[in-house]
């Protein structure tokens, strides 16, 4: 009972009044007149002194505890959450102190937890490869992550605080964003942006309880996906076109034979030859396709051996001589007597060379020439196939190495347009590069490099 | 206090101008895309949507007039509103040109379009770039950018020249192509006008910032 503050104060007051009354009674009864007044004054003064002293003594601990609590609370408002009050009090105030300490600890724990979650989320936002933009109720940007800066060609420092419309000026996207905010419903949209251009998917999520953040927009870059899709579509359409033409010819010939031409030996022979030619063409196409897919999918599967490159070139040129002669084109070879060794797949390199020389001959009119040369420099062997043919137009130059690309459509009957694509893949699989220079009417020069084998690197410069 | 209200209203009008700009930009792009890919459905849509652009333009004009009547802005504030009135007029005319391209696309019967095409695509890219950048300049009150955009107009005029020569020489060689090529020349003309309107917008931006209404010096253009 004495521990309670309430009782202590009450007891003190009671004691004081008691003592005062007793003293007054004694004094009044012991003295009379003027001396009684003096004695009363002395007793009162003494009484006040005792009261003050005992009051202070009894409440000292309490006041100290209250002061400590106040200081701790203030420290917490200033952000120093890790507070603990050491008060030696076993009364009601003691309860308060104990509870306060518990509260301080709990708050500290909660804040640490929230802070960690915040750091994790921030890391997720900042590192995401998807663009993230948060907007407030009025569609002004509240947050923008680095990926969004890249995708939207914007800078967070300039964009934050401004309406989203200023950054992405698309009225349809803006309308959907407003719908998302007003109807609190997820919206999906697509956006074409920037000079490249980029195709983005935009998904808008309304947020509740996010304070400033009323909606989150997630931007995903679909440009690459679309491009690959388009390539695939083109490829399929090209292949089916290339297959359809010879098949139609064969079908027509077969029908004609079945309708009666088979009874006329000469005509029948003629048709059979035609069919045979088309079948050859189809076979050639299929094997080119297979070759291309093999090269593209398993470039590492080259059969690498050290090669005598000069001999390889000579062999390729020799093989193509008959074709050159038939077309009235001069085919020549110009190589130094000694070339550094290269490590490569002989069969594939032969094919690449053959494709290049074949093209050169094909597009050079009679009387022209095709020259194959090679030289070693800077650690590579550069091989050139130069022709005096019809050349390639500027706008086609960048695309000649694409599958099925044929610059001169009028010659679409010969080959499938895969030769250069195959050559390019073979060269690149060996770690080299291929390029072309050309002038319409004057001719073209195809150049490709092959890295020299490492052991001879010192000698090849 | 009135300052705060005026400022807010001005911002709202500015946002509406940007929305209008976006509608016009899309109309131009779509009209050319429809022309090139022979998408008649898209061409029809472009022609129809021009009404929406017109309506939006009048809506913004109404708001400007209202703000001027109720807030009675002075000096720089008044210039901003006046500049906006002119800018939306230019934007609406650009959309009309895009609609024109849409109509031409519907008129051309041919299944594919002959060669002046690459240059037409370059023209529309440049024209849209100019529109986009002129509105950038408007938003940022950027005089330097406004002047830079006007320089691009020279490139557009140069492309127009090339297309003209190309089309005429083809017309001489292949008389059956005359109708289609003539239509394509009109398309090029529309694009050139669109680019020119962007320079008007840039002049208004300069006016808005400096208070001076002046033609931005460009190389002498034939158009």
Q: Which tens digits make up the pLDDT trace of B151-174? A: 899 999 999 998 899 889 888 988
pLDDT computed for residue A112 by the predictor: 92
Tokens 């830079």, located at residue: B148
pLDDT computed for residue A457 by the predictor: 39
Residue A315 reports pLDDT greater than 70: yes
SS3 A160: coil
For residue A34, give the DSSP letter: H
Cis peptide before A197 (omega within 30 of 0): yes
Element (H, E) at B187: helix B178-210
pLDDT computed for residue B128 by the predictor: 93
Contact state of B22 with A195 under an 8 Å Cβ cutoff: no
Which residues of A are less than 8 Å from B132 in CB distance?
Answer: 169
The alpha carbon dihedral of A434, A435, A440, A444 has a sign of: negative
Q: ipTM value of the model?
A: 0.81
Confidence band (pLDDT; 50, 70, 90) for A456?
very low
Residue A414 reports pLDDT greater than 70: no
Selected residue with higher pLDDT from A417 and A95: A95
Selected residue with higher pLDDT from A336 and A409: A336
Determine the Cα–Cα distance for residues A116 and B44; give it in Å rounded to an integer. 56
Partner residue opposite B15 with nearest CB, options A165, A172, A195:
A165
Decide if B26 touches A, using CB distance below 8 A: yes
Burial class (CB within 10 angstroms; exposed 0-12, middle 13-18, buried 19+) of B20:
buried
Residue B48 reports pLDDT greater than 90: yes
Task: Give the helix, strand, coil percentages of chain A, each rounded to 5.
Answer: 55, 15, 25
Selected residue with higher pLDDT from A428 and A54: A428
Contact state of A169 with B118 under an 8 Å Cβ cutoff: no
Reported as a single tens digit per residue, the pLDDT across A90-111 is 677 778 888 888 988 899 899 9
Q: Rounded mean pLDDT of chain B?
A: 89
Which residues of A are less than 8 Å from B20 in CB distance?
Answer: 171
pLDDT computed for residue A458 by the predictor: 39
Burial class (CB within 10 angstroms; exposed 0-12, middle 13-18, buried 19+) of B86:
middle
Q: Which residues between 376 and 395 in chain A have a beta carbon less than 8 angstroms from any beta carbon of chain B?
A: 395
Contact state of B15 with A195 under an 8 Å Cβ cutoff: no
pLDDT computed for residue A455 by the predictor: 47
Which residues of A are less than 8 Å from B11 in CB distance?
Answer: 163
Contact state of A171 with B23 under an 8 Å Cβ cutoff: yes
Reported as a single tens digit per residue, the pLDDT across B58-67 is 999 999 999 9
Contact state of B22 with A171 under an 8 Å Cβ cutoff: yes
Nearest-CA distance A314 → chain B (Å): 43
pLDDT computed for residue A91 by the predictor: 72
């Amino acid at each position: 009972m004495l521990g309670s503050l309430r009782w202590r104060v009450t007891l003190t007051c009671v004691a004081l009044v008691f003592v005062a009354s007793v003293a007054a009674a004694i004094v009044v009864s012991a003295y009379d007149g003027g001396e009684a007044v003096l004695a009363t004054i002395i007793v009162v003064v003494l009484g006040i002194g005792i009261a003050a002293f005992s009051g202070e003594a009894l409440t000292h601990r309490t006041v100290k505890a209250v002061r400590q609590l106040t200081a701790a609370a203030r420290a917490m408002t200033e952000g120093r959450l890790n507070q603990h009050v050491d008060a030696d009090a076993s009364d009601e105030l003691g309860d308060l102190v104990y509870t306060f300490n518990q509260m301080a600890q709990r708050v500290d724990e909660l804040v640490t937890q929230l802070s960690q979650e915040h750091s994790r989320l921030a890391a997720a936002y900042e590192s995401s490869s998807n663009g993230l933009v948060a907007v407030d109720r009025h569609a002004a940007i509240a947050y923008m992550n680095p990926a969004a800066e890249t995708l939207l060609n914007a800078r967070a420092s300039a964009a934050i605080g401004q309406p989203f419309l200023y950054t992405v000026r698309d009225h349809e996207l803006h309308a959907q964003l407003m719908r998302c905010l007003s109807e609190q419903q997820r919206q999906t949209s697509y956006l074409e942006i920037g000079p490249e251009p980029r195709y983005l998917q935009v998904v808008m999520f309304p947020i509740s309880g996010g304070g400033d953040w009323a909606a989150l927009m997630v931007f995903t870059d679909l440009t690459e996906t679309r491009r690959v899709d388009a390539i695939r579509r083109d490829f399929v359409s090209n292949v089916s076109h290339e297959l359809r033409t010879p098949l139609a010819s064969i079908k027509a010939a077969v029908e004609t034979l079945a309708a009666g031409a088979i009874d006329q030996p000469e005509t029948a022979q003629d048709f059979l030859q035609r069919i045979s030619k088309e079948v050859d063409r189809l076979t050639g196409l299929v094997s080119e396709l297979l070759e291309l897919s093999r090269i593209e999918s398993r470039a590492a599967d080259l059969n690498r051996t050290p090669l005598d490159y000069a001999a390889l070139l000579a062999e390729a040129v020799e093989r193509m001589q008959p074709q050159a002669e038939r077309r009235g084109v001069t085919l020549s070879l110009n190589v130094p007597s000694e070339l550094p060794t290269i490590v490569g797949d002989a069969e594939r390199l032969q094919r690449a060379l053959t494709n290049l020389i074949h093209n050169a001959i094909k597009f050079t009119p009679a009387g022209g020439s095709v020259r194959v040369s090679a030289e070693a420099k800077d650690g590579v062997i550069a091989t050139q196939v130069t022709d005096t043919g019809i050349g390639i137009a500027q706008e086609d130059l960048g695309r000649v190495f694409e599958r099925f690309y044929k610059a001169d459509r009028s010659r679409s009957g010969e080959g499938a347009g895969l030769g250069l694509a195959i050559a390019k893949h073979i060269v690149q699989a060996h770690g080299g590069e291929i390029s072309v220079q050309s002038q319409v009417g004057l001719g073209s020069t195809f150049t490709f490099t092959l890295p020299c084998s490492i052991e001879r690197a010192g000698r090849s410069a | 206090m009135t300052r705060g209200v005026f400022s807010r209203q001005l911002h709202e009008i500015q946002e509406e101008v940007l929305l209008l700009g976006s509608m016009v930009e899309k109309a131009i792009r779509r009209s050319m895309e429809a022309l090139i890919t022979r998408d008649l459905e898209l061409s029809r849509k472009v022609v129809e949507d021009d009404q929406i652009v017109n309506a939006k333009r009048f809506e913004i004009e109404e708001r400007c007039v209202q703000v001027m009547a109720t807030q009675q802005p002075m000096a720089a504030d008044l210039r901003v509103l006046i500049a906006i009135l002119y800018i939306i007029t230019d934007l609406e005319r650009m959309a009309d040109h895009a609609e024109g391209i849409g109509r031409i696309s519907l008129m051309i019967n041919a299944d594919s379009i002959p060669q002046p095409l690459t240059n037409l695509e370059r023209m529309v890219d440049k024209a849209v770039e100019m529109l986009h950048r002129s509105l950038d300049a408007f938003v940022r009150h950027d005089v330097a950018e406004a002047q830079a955009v006007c320089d691009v107009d020279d490139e557009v005029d140069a492309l127009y020249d090339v297309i003209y020569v190309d089309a005429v020489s083809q017309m001489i060689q292949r008389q059956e192509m005359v109708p289609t090529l003539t239509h394509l020349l009109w398309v090029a003309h529309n694009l050139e006008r669109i680019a020119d309107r962007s320079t008007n917008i840039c002049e208004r931006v300069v006016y808005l910032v400096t208070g001076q209404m002046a033609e931005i010096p460009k190389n002498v253009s034939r158009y």
